[in-house]
Chain A
């Protein structure tokens, strides 16, 4: 690779950094440094997936994995951080199986985990509609939808267990939508041509999470799960190379606690909040996975961010979050902008049909408004960049396109539309003050989901033995782009069906020696947490935590958002470094560490985002191809579509922490396609 970069800048060390960073990660200073930013390490591989016919691999793995005698399970303990679909399902299931589980979340109740916000639905290859669906087709669509950057074995397993998920949830009483005959209803969702999405009006995530939450509460009552609400995991404890516990802060009393176990699971969700404005919950963070990364867990594909096409546009500077409207709206709503920029401030109802550009239907006639998210998002950006965006100007720019239900309202009656989409339309009206039954809605893309996350093998084990990662927190299954309704599927697949089998294998290979609270690794982890908290409180500078977060978000969106270029990414790295430097000199966090202190919570999270942001830019920089959620301006076809380079980049980028004063180390895991032929994705 050529080094067009400016002379290497040294990474400023982070004050308050963890004194217990892994020592084996340190490399020769600047040995083979690319771009002045990173080095390349040895390649890695997933060694756990069995070989042979893909449909038999998961059964084979389950058969091969060792068993634990029921009487011994009580003696084995597992820490699970996160109570979303992935963590909640895993804690309930491992509790049922008889292990001693400790479950953590930062909210006041596990029921509030961010999975609750998912609206659209969950995929499953049930083929209830007899429309040609099958496990293989769900597998195929997911690999293709992920732009061929996910693992075949993992994705096949996901498709395979998807049908069991629906059975499990129905048995728990999840009130899915039903037809008059009493059977389950389903619908189709962005990017696919079969009806395989199960839903509970616009509240699918809520209903699935309540199912898992109720199963979890049942285990809490039964005494198999110990629940720690309002606890923030701030450090991972690694003893003799194995994950053995966490350091967490009780957010009410401020007390810093150590929890030790035989294995640790992180199911802490995604890191989209690095952009400040996103559809994620305000507390969503990268802290748990980032702290684990600093302790040796590889971070996979950090730059793959999913941008969701149907969000409510920003209305002003004060805005704290963006609201998503389920993309199921694209089934019946039509997307357009005026053909002429002069019409952009007109009342849309007065723009005649011939002056409207239904650009998705025009460019992609066979998929129309149902093209996958990355394509729908980028085309919306393109038309706005051309000056044809609609809605109020924020800055000097209109960021919005119409999502129009007029035709649907004529075709189906207002009652039917209300039955199908009513709560979404009401939500839109509440937020914008406009009535979507009368005026076309306005939408714009927003950061929604992160396909990157900690690297895991087929067993969902990270590069630290004993540390498992599930749900959005891991990198697997979705490749460079996630199809709609597949994150809920992955969270529940991991939690209910995968982890309980793979952790068992790890636990059965124990027993692992008991760790003493006085062990050096434990005391060091605690000391580093105390040190960081004190440092954050003592700076007493001039700027609020939020002001740093907003500035970081702006840099990330501008240079590492929907479109990235070499020049922009290099600039972003410099900007982030100086922002991080200022943060540690000039942030103001008031209050004390020994009480509920929400500014202190935020400060710790933003500090970690400031480190992650740089790695995301470096990852985006090194990947000189356009792929799914990563669009490199330098790599496009003549008509502006994403151009992949499978010969060079068909790999997972797994990053190793390089130490506070070193550079990150890139390990490549080659992706081998035995069952799906790599094709340029085309929806034309």
Chain B
């Protein structure tokens, strides 16, 4: 395949940045999107132009590092991560736009790389169960009903990629946060800190510059791990409960 790529180049946080156009040829449909960028980067390097910076590591759809806006869609036209998007999703002659996640809470570092440290700070605010090492009770002492375990697992599958934020017109982090609230809240182990957790996480979310949720639903549509919208309902329910408990 031959393609035309319009790619966002920005040398650093203080640079304005611009779109640049790069034609690529001989792209095989078995390549992943990132392997296609590797090919382009090899060409740029040979020509003496600095390769395009983008985040990636596992290339298996699990670490959550990669993430690009591809022709306006988070991770591209399929519901998957950018590293697991294959070129067979495109056709010969396509023109493709590649941009970084855009959100105030995710400032651009360089080219397609953004800073998602705000996600870590939301987890720091309460996205954990306080269990000091060595003092845990025997695992079978607390049974977890299978439906709860399954729902918890479904929510725990979030990889922290940030596509939900990038897809949301308000750049809200509610899906990400709802996933953690649901993961921990479904388990008996997560109950003692449940109220405090939601209040602190929501406060941090707002301080970090994420927007509010207006039920657009674009987040769940873009999520490569298919985290459902109802984790946001769960979050809202937990928040109401915590506020009525007076936390």
Chain A residues with a Cβ under 8 A of chain B: 89, 92-93, 96, 107-112, 114, 116-117, 126, 128, 164, 166-168, 170-173, 175-184, 200-201, 203, 206-207, 210, 213-215, 217-218, 220-221, 227, 229, 252, 281-283, 315-316, 318-321, 323-324, 427, 430-431, 433, 496-497, 500, 544, 546-547, 588, 590-591, 595-596, 598-599
Known contacts being A214-B123, A544-B42, is A229 close to B117, with CB within 8 Å? yes
Per-residue CB contact flags for chain B residues 113-124 toward chain A (1 = under 8 Å, else 0) read 101110110011
Chain A residues, CB < 8 A from B133: 89, 92-93, 96, 168, 215, 496-497, 500
Instruction: Write the nearest CB–CB distance from A597 to chain B, whole angstroms.
Output: 8
The answer to whether A319 touches B51 (Cβ under 8 A) is: no
Distance in angstroms between the alpha carbons of A109 and B38 in the assembled complex: 23
Distance in angstroms between the alpha carbons of A89 and B38 in the assembled complex: 34
CB-CB nearest 10 A-B residue pairs: A182-B143, A214-B128, A171-B136, A171-B131, A175-B153, A221-B124, A167-B136, A170-B139, A178-B149, A281-B57
Known contacts being A172-B189, A315-B30, A316-B28, is A112 close to B109, with CB within 8 Å? no
B62 within 8 A of A: yes
The answer to whether B63 touches A117 (Cβ under 8 A) is: yes
Chain B residues, CB < 8 A from A433: 29-30, 86, 88
Known contacts being A108-B116, A544-B42, is A117 close to B128, with CB within 8 Å? no
Chain A residues, CB < 8 A from B38: 318, 320, 546
Known contacts being A114-B58, A318-B35, A544-B42, is A430 close to B80, with CB within 8 Å? yes
Show 6 A/B contacts (Cβ-Cβ < 8 Å), sorted by A: A107-B63, A109-B117, A112-B58, A168-B136, A177-B149, A217-B124
Q: Which residues 39-58 of B sit at the A interface, judged by CB distance below 8 A? A: 39, 42, 45-46, 48-51, 53, 55-58
B61 within 8 A of A: yes
Please pick, from A175, A220, A318, the residue contacting B156 in the complex, using a CB distance under 8 A: A175
Please pick, from B124, B132, B136, B152, the residue contacting A175 in the complex, using a CB distance under 8 A: B152
Please pick, from A108, A318, A588, A598, the residue contacting B31 in the complex, using a CB distance under 8 A: A318
The answer to whether B86 touches A431 (Cβ under 8 A) is: yes
Number of B residues contacting the other chain (C-beta, 8 Å)? 75
The answer to whether A282 touches B140 (Cβ under 8 A) is: no
Known contacts being A167-B137, A590-B50, is A316 close to B115, with CB within 8 Å? no
Distance in angstroms between the alpha carbons of A544 and B45 in the assembled complex: 7
Distance in angstroms between the alpha carbons of A596 and B138 in the assembled complex: 46
Interface centre among B35, B55, B88, B144, by most chain A C-beta atoms within 10 angstroms, is: B144
Known contacts being A108-B116, A168-B136, is A173 close to B142, with CB within 8 Å? no
Chain A residues, CB < 8 A from B159: 206
Known contacts being A93-B133, A126-B139, A170-B189, is A112 close to B45, with CB within 8 Å? no
Distance in angstroms between the alpha carbons of A179 and B143 in the assembled complex: 10
Distance in angstroms between the alpha carbons of A421 and B47 in the assembled complex: 45
The answer to whether B129 touches A171 (Cβ under 8 A) is: yes
Instruction: Write the nearest CB–CB distance from B58 to chain A, whole angstroms.
Output: 5
B4 within 8 A of A: no
Chain A residues, CB < 8 A from B167: none
Please pick, from B12, B64, B142, the residue contacting A112 in the complex, using a CB distance under 8 A: B64
Q: Which residues 44-100 of B sit at the A interface, judged by CB distance below 8 A? A: 45-46, 48-51, 53, 55-65, 80, 84, 86, 88
Tally A-B pairs: CB < 8 A: 208
Known contacts being A173-B184, A320-B38, is A598 close to B146, with CB within 8 Å? no
Please pick, from A96, A201, A214, the residue contacting B129 in the complex, using a CB distance under 8 A: A214
Distance in angstroms between the alpha carbons of A177 and B153 in the assembled complex: 8
Known contacts being A164-B136, A167-B138, A173-B183, is A112 close to B86, with CB within 8 Å? no
Instruction: Write the nearest CB–CB distance from B64 to chain A, whole angstroms.
Output: 6
Chain B residues, CB < 8 A from A315: 30
Distance in angstroms between the alpha carbons of A592 and B182 in the assembled complex: 44
Distance in angstroms between the alpha carbons of A108 and B106 in the assembled complex: 12
B187 within 8 A of A: yes
Please pick, from A283, A318, A588, the residue contacting B28 in the complex, using a CB distance under 8 A: A318
Instruction: Write the nearest CB–CB distance from B2 to chain A, whole angstroms.
Output: 15
Known contacts being A184-B139, A252-B109, is A173 close to B60, with CB within 8 Å? no
The answer to whether A591 touches B142 (Cβ under 8 A) is: no
The answer to whether A497 touches B139 (Cβ under 8 A) is: no
Chain A residues, CB < 8 A from B184: 173
The answer to whether A179 touches B136 (Cβ under 8 A) is: no
Please pick, from B45, B109, B119, the residue contacting A590 in the complex, using a CB distance under 8 A: B45
Instruction: Write the nearest CB–CB distance from B131 to chain A, whole angstroms.
Output: 4
Closest to A496 in B: B133
The answer to whether B58 touches A172 (Cβ under 8 A) is: no
Chain A residues, CB < 8 A from B31: 316, 318
Q: Which residues 134-184 of B sit at the A interface, judged by CB distance below 8 A? A: 134, 136-140, 142-146, 149, 152-153, 156-157, 159-160, 183-184
The answer to whether A117 touches B58 (Cβ under 8 A) is: yes
Instruction: Write the nearest CB–CB distance from B149 to chain A, whole angstroms.
Output: 4
B211 within 8 A of A: no
Chain B residues, CB < 8 A from A109: 64, 116-117, 119-120, 160
Distance in angstroms between the alpha carbons of A117 and B62 in the assembled complex: 6
Known contacts being A166-B139, A179-B146, is A318 close to B39, with CB within 8 Å? yes
> Other CB < 8 Å A-B pairs besides A175-B149, A229-B120, 15 of them?
A93-B133, A96-B132, A112-B57, A116-B63, A117-B63, A182-B144, A206-B157, A207-B156, A210-B156, A217-B123, A252-B109, A282-B58, A316-B30, A427-B84, A497-B134
Distance in angstroms between the alpha carbons of A218 and B127 in the assembled complex: 8
Closest to A176 in B: B149
Chain B residues, CB < 8 A from A229: 117, 120
The answer to whether A203 touches B157 (Cβ under 8 A) is: yes
Interface centre among A93, A173, A496, A500, by most chain B C-beta atoms within 10 angstroms, is: A173
B215 within 8 A of A: no
Please pick, from B11, B117, B140, B156, the residue contacting A108 in the complex, using a CB distance under 8 A: B117
Per-residue CB contact flags for chain B residues 1-41 toward chain A (1 = under 8 Å, else 0) read 00000000001100000000000000011111011001100
Please pick, from A116, A166, A179, the residue contacting B62 in the complex, using a CB distance under 8 A: A116
Please pick, from B39, B129, B138, the residue contacting A172 in the complex, using a CB distance under 8 A: B129
Distance in angstroms between the alpha carbons of A109 and B119 in the assembled complex: 9
B244 within 8 A of A: no
Distance in angstroms between the alpha carbons of A227 and B120 in the assembled complex: 11
Known contacts being A108-B116, A175-B149, is A218 close to B55, with CB within 8 Å? no
Closest to A210 in B: B156
Chain A residues, CB < 8 A from B214: none
Distance in angstroms between the alpha carbons of A321 and B143 in the assembled complex: 40
B110 within 8 A of A: yes
Distance in angstroms between the alpha carbons of A590 and B31 in the assembled complex: 25
The answer to whether A112 touches B63 (Cβ under 8 A) is: yes
Distance in angstroms between the alpha carbons of A206 and B225 in the assembled complex: 13
Instruction: Write the nearest CB–CB distance from A257 to chain B, whole angstroms.
Output: 18
Known contacts being A218-B128, A431-B86, A544-B42, is A282 close to B189, with CB within 8 Å? no
Instruction: Write the nearest CB–CB distance from B153 to chain A, whole angstroms.
Output: 4
Chain B residues, CB < 8 A from A252: 109
The answer to whether A282 touches B183 (Cβ under 8 A) is: no
